[in-house]
């Protein structure tokens, strides 16, 4: 006889639900005071959604006659939502370990980019790679993220910079979305750099007249699902006007605006994003006070990427100023060939130490707020009834160990659960 529920996680010392009033995001005090239930259990139904979460005694009474496909005894452990990584570039060929050496020796990100390396190096290799090769390496990278507790991840295109390769990348992301357990939010980032041999105006024209119309056809035919549109708004890359026209065109196709802004220079990207109703802007190392105020007012999330500032030795994004102003702060790993990090626990640790966030703020930023940045906080990012049963079971009675034990997530994360299914994260694949 089949059981009537998928999973019971019982007797956890702590269940960190994050919030419990259907909040779509948290700011200020809400990020500091996460909702945690002591001695608690979680029930996930056959549909993979959370059916109940509450004190263990109440749940065991309520479900005394119920049957479950699987029961996890979480005594001495804690439970928290699956982590959400709001910014990654995981589809590419050709690593850039040689550039890491150059940067350690003093070259800046833009020195390498202008010399034809950086994104251009990756574009050359990604254009030449066959889709199955890209899918294989993407699968391995996503498996690594899953092992580190990420259950929803944003994945960008952006190493094609022309129609054929951008579509190839989005198709690879689509295949992964349909075949792998991890949840994916897909982003078209055809404006990640100005391709060699083109001006900004020519690249913008190609995106508006060639790439976006084809995406529209593929999306309408149901071949591709694309959720977000992205532009690298930066001096020497896409200026404010080009950024505006590309983002606006994407919005007209129904895509959420979620772009790179104010990273290396103050560009007024934050003000532009607020004006266009952007769901999120990433980086913001150089955001101004006016930009922060505009984002707070517009409900545009700031996706902060502690690995970028760390690796490139940039000034840290002013997380405290953003938090104090009431900006919705989220986190992302920025996994890409420049910043090779698949671990949101490490990202949270860096956010706490280098950006002076508290552990509660970092966890809110890596769950409910990151889900908001991807337009998914109605279904992900907290352990509330009706949301997806995506959670982590930690081998420790206090959740803070996930941030405190730098690099210790492999030993700490006992189970990764997606829609009530315990995922086998043991397969190791080459990257
Ligand atoms: N800043 C632009 N894009 C990426 C880097 C991509 C690359 O260097 O390949 C980022 O978010 O850090
Ligand atoms: Zn990026």
Which of 161, 334, 337, 341 most suits a substitution to test ligand 1, by most atoms within 8 Å of the C-beta? 334
Express each pLDDT in 128-146 by its tens digit: 999 999 999 999 999 999 9
> Is residue 334 lining ligand 1, measured as CB closer than 6 Å?
yes
Q: Is the domain of 357 the same as that of 294?
A: yes
> Is residue 122 lining ligand 1, measured as CB closer than 6 Å?
yes
Q: Are 189 and 91 in contact (CB under 8 A)?
A: no
3-state class of 352 per DSSP?
Answer: helix
Q: Is residue 220 part of a domain?
A: yes
- Which of 353, 270, 361, 390 lies closest to 26 in space, CA to CA? 361
Separation CA 185–CA 227 (nearest Å)? 6
Separation CA 121–CA 127 (nearest Å)? 10
> Is residue 186 lining ligand 1, measured as CB closer than 6 Å?
no
Burial class (CB in 10 A: 0-12, 13-18, 19+), 306: buried
> Is residue 396 lining ligand 1, measured as CB closer than 6 Å?
no
Separation CA 203–CA 191 (nearest Å)? 8
Could you list the mean pLDDT of each consecutive 10-residue stretch along the chain, which spans 431 residues? 87 98 98 98 98 98 96 98 98 96 93 90 98 98 97 98 98 97 98 97 98 98 97 97 98 98 97 98 98 98 97 95 98 98 98 98 99 98 98 98 96 98 74 47
Q: Is the domain of 154 the same as that of 296?
A: yes
Q: Are 67 and 312 in contact (CB under 8 A)?
A: no
Q: Is residue 112 part of a domain?
A: yes
Domains: count for the chain: 2
> Is residue 262 lining ligand 1, measured as CB closer than 6 Å?
no
Q: Is the domain of 129 the same as that of 20?
A: no
Q: Which residues pair with 330 in a beta bridge?
A: 303
Burial class (CB in 10 A: 0-12, 13-18, 19+), 12: buried
Q: Is the domain of 36 the same as that of 148?
A: no
Q: Is the domain of 52 the same as that of 143?
A: no
Separation CA 205–CA 336 (nearest Å)? 26
pLDDT of residue 427: 62
Which of 119, 125, 281 most suits a substitution to test ligand 1, by most atoms within 8 Å of the C-beta? 119
Ligand 1 atom nearest to 308, measured from its CA: 12
List, as one string, the DSSP characters of 47-75.
Answer: TSBEEEEEEHHHHHHHTTT--EEEEEE-T
Q: Is residue 430 part of a domain?
A: no
Q: Is the domain of 395 the same as that of 369?
A: no
Q: Is residue 106 part of a domain?
A: yes
Strand segments (E) across 212-320: 228-231, 256-261, 280-283, 301-304
Which of 125, 126, 192 most suits a substitution to test ligand 1, by most atoms within 8 Å of the C-beta? 192
> Is residue 260 lining ligand 1, measured as CB closer than 6 Å?
yes
Q: Is residue 341 part of a domain?
A: yes
> Is residue 263 lining ligand 1, measured as CB closer than 6 Å?
yes
State the first-to-last Cα distance of the chain, in angstroms, to the nearest integer: 42
pLDDT of residue 430: 45
Ligand 1 atom nearest to 282, measured from its CA: 11
Separation CA 100–CA 421 (nearest Å)? 38
> Is residue 103 lining ligand 1, measured as CB closer than 6 Å?
no
pTM exceeding the 0.95 threshold for the entire prediction: yes
Q: Are 274 and 298 in contact (CB under 8 A)?
A: yes
pLDDT of residue 2: 65
Q: CA 120, 111, 119 angle in degrees (round to 5)?
A: 20
Residue written as tokens 């105006």?
A: 201
Q: Residue 193 sits in which domain range?
A: 83-374
% of the chain with per-residue pLDDT over 70: 98
Q: Is the domain of 97 the same as that of 182?
A: yes
Identify the nearest ligand to the CA of 86 by its number.
2
What is the CATH classification number for the domain harbouring 261?
3.20.20.140
181 φ/ψ sector (left φ>0, alpha ψ -120 to 50, else beta)? alpha
Q: Is the domain of 243 the same as that of 360?
A: yes
Q: CA 126, 127, 131 angle in degrees (round to 5)?
A: 70
Kindly provide the ipTM of the predicted complex, given to two decimals: 0.97
Separation CA 308–CA 332 (nearest Å)? 10
- Going from the Cα of 271 to the center of ligand 2, the distance in angstroms, rounded, reads 19
Which of 305, 338, 339, 341 most suits a substitution to test ligand 1, by most atoms within 8 Å of the C-beta? 338
Q: Is the domain of 271 the same as that of 287?
A: yes
Ligand 1 atom nearest to 337, measured from its CA: 9
Q: Is residue 431 part of a domain?
A: no
Burial class (CB in 10 A: 0-12, 13-18, 19+), 257: buried
- Going from the Cα of 28 to the center of ligand 2, the distance in angstroms, rounded, reads 26
- Going from the Cα of 28 to the center of ligand 1, the distance in angstroms, rounded, reads 29
Q: Is residue 428 part of a domain?
A: no
Q: Is the domain of 393 the same as that of 299?
A: no
Q: Is the domain of 31 the same as that of 154?
A: no
Which of 116, 260, 307, 340 most suits a substitution to test ligand 1, by most atoms within 8 Å of the C-beta? 260
Separation CA 215–CA 294 (nearest Å)? 31
What is the CATH classification number for the domain harbouring 396?
2.30.40.10
- 108-133 burial, b if ≥16 CB within 10 A, otherwise e? ebbebbeeebbbbbbbbebbebeeee
Q: Is the domain of 178 the same as that of 36?
A: no
Separation CA 404–CA 396 (nearest Å)? 12
């Amino acid at each position: 006889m089949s059981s009537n529920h998928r999973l019971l996680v019982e007797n956890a010392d702590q269940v960190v639900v994050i919030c419990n009033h259907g909040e779509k995001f948290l700011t200020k005090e809400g990020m500091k005071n996460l909702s945690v239930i002591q001695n608690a259990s979680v029930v996930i139904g056959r549909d993979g959604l959370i059916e109940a979460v509450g004190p263990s005694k109440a749940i065991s009474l309520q479900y005394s006659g119920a049957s479950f496909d699987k029961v996890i005894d979480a005594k001495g452990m804690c439970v928290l939502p699956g982590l959400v990584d709001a910014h990654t570039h995981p589809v590419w060929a050709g690593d850039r370990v040689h550039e890491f050496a150059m940067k350690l020796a003093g070259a800046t990100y833009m020195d390498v980019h202008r010399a034809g390396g950086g994104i251009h190096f990756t574009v050359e290799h990604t254009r030449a790679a066959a889709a199955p090769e890209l899918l294989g390496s993407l699968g391995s990278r996503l498996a690594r993220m899953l092992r580190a507790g990420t259950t929803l991840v944003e994945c960008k295109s952006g190493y094609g910079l022309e129609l054929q390769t951008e579509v190839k990348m989005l198709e690879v992301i689509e295949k992964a979305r349909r075949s792998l357990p991890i949840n994916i939010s897909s982003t078209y980032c055809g404006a990640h750099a100005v391709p060699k041999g083109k001006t900004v105006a020519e690249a913008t024209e190609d995106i508006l007249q060639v790439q976006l119309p084809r995406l529209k056809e593929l999306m309408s035919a149901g071949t591709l699902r694309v959720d977000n549109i992205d532009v690298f708004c930066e001096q020497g890359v896409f200026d404010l006007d080009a950024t505006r026209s590309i983002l606006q065109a994407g919005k007209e196709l129904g895509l959420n605006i979620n772009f790179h802004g104010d990273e290396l220079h103050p560009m007024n990207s934050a003000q532009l994003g607020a004006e266009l109703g952007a769901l999120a802007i990433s980086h913001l190392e150089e955001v101004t006070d006016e930009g922060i105020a505009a984002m707070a007012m517009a409900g545009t999330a700031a996706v902060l990427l502690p690995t970028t500032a760390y690796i490139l030795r940039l000034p840290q994004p002013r997380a405290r100023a953003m938090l104090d102003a009431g900006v919705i702060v989220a986190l992302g790993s920025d996994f890409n060939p420049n910043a090779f990090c698949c671990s949101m626990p490490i990202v949270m640790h860096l956010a706490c130490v280098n950006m002076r966030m508290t552990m509660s703020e970092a966890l809110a930023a890596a769950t409910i707020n990151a889900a908001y940045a991807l337009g998914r906080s109605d279904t992900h990012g907290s352990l509330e009834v009706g949301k997806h049963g995506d959670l982590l079971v930690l081998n420790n009675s206090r959740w803070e160990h996930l941030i405190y034990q730098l690099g210790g997530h492999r030993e700490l994360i006992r189970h990764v659960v997606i829609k009530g299914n315990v995922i086998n994260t043991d397969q190791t694949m080459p990257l």
